[in-house]
Structure 1
Amino acid sequence: MGDDFTSAGPRLLGPADVRRLAAALDLRPTKQRGQNFVIDPNTVRRIVRASGVGSDDVVVEVGPGLGSLTLALLEEVRRVVAIEVDPVLARALPATVADRAPEHADRFEVVEADALRVDSVPGPPPTALVANLPYNVSVPVLLHLMALLPSLRHGLVMVQSEVADRLAAAPGSRTYGVPSVKAAWFAEVRRAGAIGRNVFWPAPNVDSGLVAWEHRDPPTTSVRREQVFAVVDAAFAQRRKTLRSTLKATAGSAQAAEAALVRAGVDPQARGEMLRVEDFARIAEELQREAAR
């Protein structure tokens, strides 16, 4: 490939480095943007290792902040595209990379944008998503990028611990819900570890978890993903009610919902938490057929 991966590597950010960079930018981390910066080099090394990325990967990183994870990624992968919504941070990041990883600076590009609103990523198609996601928008960002970038094959994200549980939950578990089903449309998802609060500045009020995922083909279906996801949303809107009840508005009546469920091979008295994403795809197909009658 021609890239040199034998250098001493970037100088990663420690607690004093993070605070010095923040002070130079007159930065006050905001809860609104979910800004909690990793100050422990061992943690970012662990994230990169657990992500499974390698020298051929083109990585998308969301919310790079001051560059803690960015620097660790640049040592291991072909290219990093970082999406940062904060203009102060976005404009400072190239200088940090040039200073602390000069031999890898040509592998890096920053996009100043809201990750929920990007409609493309510059450069070659990305193969991995590795990020310390802003906790207040972690699930929408993850799902948006999985839908936007079909070239993504694998990844690892750090999110709030209970969100990690939801994303990786299996049907029938207490934490299984909308995020679990929608993530399963795109990927096989699993918990990949826990992260303590003391590796962040400022320390968050919640524990963090790592979620790893591998791309999988979506269910084979004649309806669009948006139609399936609308059924998922309806099924979990009233979690304790049966599917016959939760889908009656979508189907037009409880009777029509029951007919569609039966044809899909699903018990009308079941609840959404018992179904796999493939079940929801069949239900969406049958609801469409019911509407066409």
Structure 2
Amino acid sequence: MGPDGMWSIGQLAERAGVSVKTVRFYSDRGLLPESARSGGGHRRYGPDALDRLRLIRSLRTLDLPVPDVGRVLHGEDDLADVVAGQLKEVGSRLTALRWREAALQLLTDCTAEERAERLRLVGALSTPPGTAALARFWRCWLPARLPAKVTRAVVDRAVPVPPDAPTPAQVLALARLQDFVTDPCFVAGPRAGADHGQPDVHAPGKGHRPALLYAALPEAYDLAAARIRAGRAPHPGEALDCFVAAHAASLSRRDTADFRRVLRRMLAAEPRIDRYWQLAAEVTRPPSGPPEPTPGAADNWLRAALGSP
């Protein structure tokens, strides 16, 4: 420190353990203001510059971009918020790395014949993977003109959330699921084609109100899922009554024995996407134990209950 109580750029750099080039870099960007200039035009820094330089280095050690560091130093952004945002970004990077690691493991633990097909499937996934294609599939699959709130609720339940730390099997399942929903036969809307024979239970029209059906089905699925977890075989009861009531209300009918027979035939004629639900269950399968019942599994249980004595 000179007689004026200030440091030269070299003295500050030495005390902070950085290069003169680093001090000049932060000074030029307004992060480390100089206190004065010498008679020869050299930068001079007060004692507080050392603490500020150490703070800058700490923030940069957290991989905070220089503009973000500047906003923190100038009081434009709260440090806690910036750190939280950086933590979220690091988490996203870690998730991407875990997915990449599991994908590489998937491509390692297979035969040469399997590897080419797996590479094709996995190559279509982003890292970390998104679920936009799955959401689009459901918006095509659902009946037209459902209220936005009902559509969102169905999509939220139907689209599996990819795990942060997947197994190779989960990577393969999600890759196959994305491949399934991007099949050309689904792109234009799987319910739109005449070959699917769209059932009345899903067709909007006089006396048919699919919005009521899709708003009420989650309760029936939750009741059925509880019985699936308990290992109960399909059987009549509260879950089935709720399921039938949802269909009856949407068709402006009463729950009678005759209606149940008609409903059974209508449901049997519906297009099926069991493959979707099998893959979705695998994507969210826990590390141990059976997979969590999907809406598809609950629907199958309820259909079977509808046909039971």
Say whether the fold is shared (TM-score over 0.5).
no
Structure of greater Rg: 2
Larger strand fraction of residues: 1
Larger helix fraction of residues: 2
TM-score by length of 2: 0.24
TM-score by length of 1: 0.25
